[in-house]
Amino acid sequence: YLTQNYRYWSKRGIKGPRPLPIFGNILDIFIIPQPIQELNWAKKFGKLYGYYFKAQPILTISDPDLIKTILVKDFHLFADRSNIVASNDSIISKNLVQLTGDDWKRVRSIVSPTFTSGKMKKMYPRIRECLTDFMNHLEGFAVNRGEINVKDMYGNYTMDVIATCAFATKTGAHNTLDSPFVVMARSAFNVHPLLQIVTMICPKLLLKLNNIITPKQQNKGNFFIDNTRRIIQERRKNNQKYNDFLQLLMDVERGRDNSRDENDINESHHVNEGEEELAAERKALNISLDNKRLTEDEILAQALVFFLAGFETTATTLTFCTYELALNPHIQETLLEEINSSVDSYGEISYEELARLPYLDAVLSETLRLHPPALRLHRMASTDYKLGTTGLTLSKGQTVQIPVYGVHTTEEYHPNPFKFNPDRFMPENRHNIIPYTYLPFGAGPRNCIGMRFALLEAKLGLAHIIRKYRFFRTPNTDVPLQYKRAYRVNTPKSVLVGIEKR
Residues 413 and 458: their CA atoms lie apart, in Å, by 26
Residue 152 pLDDT grade (very low, low, confident, very high; cuts 50, 70, 90): confident
Contact 68, 436 (CB under 8 A): yes
Binding residues: 448
Residue 415 has pLDDT above 90, yes or no: yes
Residues 6+ positions from 185 with CB-CB distance below 8 Å = 159, 307, 308, 311
Q: What is the pLDDT of residues 323-343, one digit of tens each?
A: 999 999 999 999 999 999 999
Binding residues for heme: 448
Domains of the chain in start order, with CATH, are 1-94+375-439 (3.30.43.20), 101-259+271-368+455-501 (1.10.630.10)
Residue 48 has pLDDT above 80, yes or no: yes
* Short-list 365, 363, 352, 372, CA closest to 471: 363
pLDDT for position 371? 95
The percent of the chain in helix, strand and coil, each rounded to the nearest 5, is: 55, 10, 35
* AA letter at 199: T
Lowest mean pLDDT among 86-90, 221-225, 362-366, 460-464: 86-90
Contact 319, 373 (CB under 8 A): no
Residue 179 pLDDT grade (very low, low, confident, very high; cuts 50, 70, 90): low
